[in-house]
Chains A and B, each alone.
Chain A
Amino acid sequence: MSDDIETEFETEGVEKKFMFLNRKAPYGTIYALEMLETVLISAAFDQDVSLVFMDDGVYQLKKGCDTKSVNMKNFSSTYKALGDYDIQKLYVERESLEARGLTVDDLTEVVYEDEDDDWAEKPAIRVVSRDEIAVLMEEQDVVISA
């Protein structure tokens, strides 16, 4: 790499809306796992982060994933930890859930502690309609998909 290429950019004081769009099922491909790694890193930058799960992406949050017999790393429990990284907004599209015969009870529970409400534990997963997702997407500064 030439020395004259700029590798650091001014980001001080920047706070943007980042959305991570998940539309793929877990385990069949690596996208869900590596997207989760991106999300965890992004938490360190104090941005306004949200995750959207739609289409087969809703399967990423399915409870009870057991990967022992396929000998793959089970990352399903990592979603549970997102609250600890202060990621508070996991939007799940209602239409995608319904089309797959799922309800919110089939999904892993993810909670965060609300600092504005005496650190009360609150659910991070919010089931919202397609129209609400559409509005959320338009509000973003950055949408990252995999």
Chain B
Amino acid sequence: MKYGILINEGPFTHQASDTAYQFTKAAIEKGHRVLRVFFYHDGVNNANALSEPQSDDRNLVKLWGDLAKEHKIDLVVCVAAGLRRGIKDQVLAEGFRISGLGQLTEIGMAADRLLTFGD
């Protein structure tokens, strides 16, 4: 089955991105394909390369980038939501790209399932 994932919250204040990450890993392990993860609202903060979690904590920015590289997942940060929050090309972490909101509707059309993770 083909999945699209929408993440509405950043990597620290809410559990949303963690749950989405665990779900994505489990879906891939079961042989499904995650086509795209779309980062919206404060979710754009998952793409901030300047983020430095403490060394004993997980680093979702890096975890998403690595997972996407390994399993060819398209990580898309909403340009409008990103601009408001200072997430631009200059601070964009590896594995992510910035694009328009239409990419969310598009993945809703292309995937068999679209799941929202937020607060």
Contact = CB atoms under 8 A, between A and B. Distances in A.
Interface of A: 1-2, 4-7, 9-11, 14, 16, 18, 30-31, 34, 37-38, 41-42, 44-45, 47, 141-146
B102 interface: yes
Contact of A145 (B69, B108, B118): B118
B119 to A, nearest CB: 9
Contact of A38 (B74, B104, B109): B104
A31 B47 CA distance: 19
Contacts, number: 80
A144 B74 contact: no
B35 A1 contact: no
B87 interface: no
B109 A45 contact: yes
Measured as residues with beta carbon below 8 angstroms from the partner, the interface class of chain B is 20 to 34
Interface of B: 6, 8, 35-36, 40-41, 68-69, 72-76, 80-81, 94-97, 100-102, 104-111, 114, 116, 118
24 contacts: A1-B95, A1-B97, A2-B72, A5-B72, A6-B35, A6-B72, A7-B74, A9-B109, A9-B111, A11-B109, A16-B108, A16-B109, A34-B40, A37-B80, A38-B104, A41-B100, A41-B102, A44-B102, A45-B105, A141-B108, A142-B114, A144-B6, A144-B114, A146-B116
